[in-house]
Amino acid sequence: MTAEPGARALGTPVEDTGERAGGRFVSALSLANLGVWVGWFGPLQLLLARQAERFTPDHKASTLALVTGLGAAVSMVANPVFGALSDRTRARVGRRIPWVVAGGAGGFAGLLVLAWAPDVPTMAAGWCLVQLALNASFAALTAAVPDQVPHRQRGMVGGWLGVSQVSGILVGTALATAAGGISTGYATCAAFSLLAALPYVAMRRDTPLSASAQHPFRWREFLTGFWMDPRKFPDFGWAWLTRFLMNLSYSISTMYLLYYLSDAVHYAGDADTGVLILTALDAVTLLGTVVISGIWSDRTGRRKVFVVWSGLVISAATMLLAVRQTWTGAVVASLVLGVGYGVYTSVDFALLTDVLPSATDRGRDLGVINIANALPQVLAPAIAAPVVTHLGGYTALYALAGVIGVGGSVLVGRIRGVR
């Protein structure tokens, strides 16, 4: 295979080149990911809930479920499609960067649509645009890790991406809270998300696709490529299922946190501020474990034991929310959740990159894995709304989240190709 000047041959394992991912690259990649998470979680943590309450005060929960469910459905399709398109993109700057740029611009536009949305349909359209665009960026940024980072560093890089994720949740929540209004909150998150991508784009570190490596585009081949037969790729199938279960547990736990504080805990202060405090406490313990656990996993060469135990810790935190519906219980649960999710975020990402079926279709395959992130956002509202309303309230909701998380942890043991 003949590569273009400066390009790595497509499909060549990055370890074979002897290259390491330097600090500047990891920092720029993490910052760009931070921008994506701010664009997602500023709305998800506060702004969408407040907007639903403004438009339909008597049906706020169902409106929030409808809007987030539609957005998650878009995300579920967009991530693997954009990942596959980035695998096939030929551009002088590389395969991934054009999608980071396009996604950042589209996400900015979608957040501004939300900022000035006059009604629920426009709100839903704006959120779907945000999900569509930011998933283009996220798919490309995620695929850059197996493109550019050797196996022996992926736990560490996964740790820093975990830092960007939790920091994005915290920064997004803080920007939404400090902005003083729904419209200014969206606009602030939009500006931050776009600016955060600039250093990564400016580095121009990407893997161009050579002409000889580009396959002819055929719709049938493109569409059927998204199906990964779990009998042929069992480790990939189990990794997908366990991630789906863990994300379903997490989505059920966090989607109604604002309403949980106001309706179940009866938080004495402003519920927005309560969400910000809990998010900050979660971030403190997560930041204390996410990078260390990733490095530890790299050095030991073990992934599964970290993922199993971290999943059990996450489930313990959701169970605490079920049985101890007080502000003190919520604080302790947030601290415990951060410990577990910090370990899980870094090491599970490294595990996923180790079970990808194809080096030539990393963007597509990681996009299929990311369906396990998006599909729970579609299902969580459908599960949570009737449970909260008719089937036991928040006690039943958080107990269910804990049981699902335990299932995801136990099934990690079925993955055979990774220690």
- The enclosing domain of 78 has a CATH number of 1.20.1250.20
* 115 within a domain of the structure (yes/no): yes
* 181 within a domain of the structure (yes/no): yes
Q: How far apart are CA 347 and CA 242, in angstroms?
A: 13
Asked if the model's pLDDT at residue 419 lies above 90, the reply is no
Provide the domain count of the chain: 1
Q: How far apart are CA 338 and CA 335, in angstroms?
A: 5
Average pLDDT over every residue of 138-149: 86
Query: Burial level of 240, CB count in 10 A (0-12/13-18/19+)?
Result: buried
Residue 167 is predicted with a pLDDT of 85
Residue 254 is predicted with a pLDDT of 76
- Per the structure, the complete domain to which residue 368 belongs is given by 21-209+229-414
| 23 alpha carbon, distance to own chain's centre | 22
27-36, 353-362, 371-380: segment of lowest average pLDDT? 353-362
Q: How far apart are CA 370 and CA 80, in angstroms?
A: 7
Asked if the model's pLDDT at residue 31 lies above 90, the reply is yes
Which pLDDT band, with edges at 50, 70 and 90, does 186 fall under? very high
The gap between the terminal CA atoms of the chain, to the nearest Å, is 33
C-alpha angle 184-335-268 in degrees, rounded to nearest 5: 60
Residue 211 is predicted with a pLDDT of 55
Which pLDDT band, with edges at 50, 70 and 90, does 135 fall under? very high
Residue 360 is predicted with a pLDDT of 66
Asked if the model's pLDDT at residue 15 lies above 60, the reply is no
Q: How far apart are CA 274 and CA 148, in angstroms?
A: 40
Q: Alpha carbon of 311 to those of 267, 337, 412: distances in Å?
A: 28, 10, 10
Q: Mean pLDDT: which of 86-100, 108-122, 146-160, 232-246 is highest?
A: 108-122
* 6 within a domain of the structure (yes/no): no
Q: How far apart are CA 354 and CA 356, in angstroms?
A: 6
CB atoms near residue 327 (< 10 Å)? 17
Mean pLDDT score of the chain: 82
Which pLDDT band, with edges at 50, 70 and 90, does 13 fall under? very low
* 80 within a domain of the structure (yes/no): yes
* 217 within a domain of the structure (yes/no): no
* 376 within a domain of the structure (yes/no): yes
Query: Residues of the chain with pLDDT > 70: what percent?
Result: 88
Average pLDDT over every residue of 211-231: 62
Q: How far apart are CA 37 and CA 49, in angstroms?
A: 17
* 3 within a domain of the structure (yes/no): no
Q: Fill in the amino acid letter for 279.
A: T
Average pLDDT over every residue of 204-224: 63
* 4 within a domain of the structure (yes/no): no
Q: How far apart are CA 263 and CA 61, in angstroms?
A: 12
Structure tokens given for 138: 């996220």
Residue 183 is predicted with a pLDDT of 92
